[in-house]
């Protein structure tokens, strides 16, 4: 996951609608079923999907009242913490 991408996507969700990101995730997930995709391409798609899910999670925290910066930092700490385990 990349923090600048999650920040950008969070801003996109605030300016537009979360549904755009959800539909994009669904489209990318459908693309992963293409048998001719290379591992590197699947990795890129997976990274995009995980960043989008991250932005949705951050947006949820913001809607619940968490300040934006705190929501982003808290989310990234949770991600890093789960990687360290």
Task: Please give the residue range of the domain that contains residue 38.
Answer: 3-84
Asked whether the whole model's pTM tops 0.75, one would answer yes
Question: What tokens appear for 38 in the block?
Answer: 């290379």
- Extract the tokens encoding 47: 């990274």
pLDDT > 80? residue 81: no
Residue-wise pLDDT tens digits, 24-53: 999 999 999 999 999 999 999 999 999 999
Residue 16 banded pLDDT, cuts 50, 70, 90: very high
Provide the pLDDT for residue 62. Answer: 95
Distance CA(57)–CA(54), nearest Å, equals: 5
**What total number of domains does the chain contain?**
1
């Amino acid at each position: 996951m990349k923090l600048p991408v999650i920040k950008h996507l969070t801003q996109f969700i605030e300016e537009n609608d979360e549904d755009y990101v959800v539909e994009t995730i669904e489209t990318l997930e459908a693309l992963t079923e293409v048998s001719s995709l290379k591992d590197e391409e699947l990795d890129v798609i997976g990274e995009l999907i995980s960043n989008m899910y991250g932005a949705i999670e951050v947006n949820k925290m913001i809607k619940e009242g968490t300040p934006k910066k705190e929501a982003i930092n808290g989310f990234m700490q949770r991600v890093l913490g789960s990687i360290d385990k």
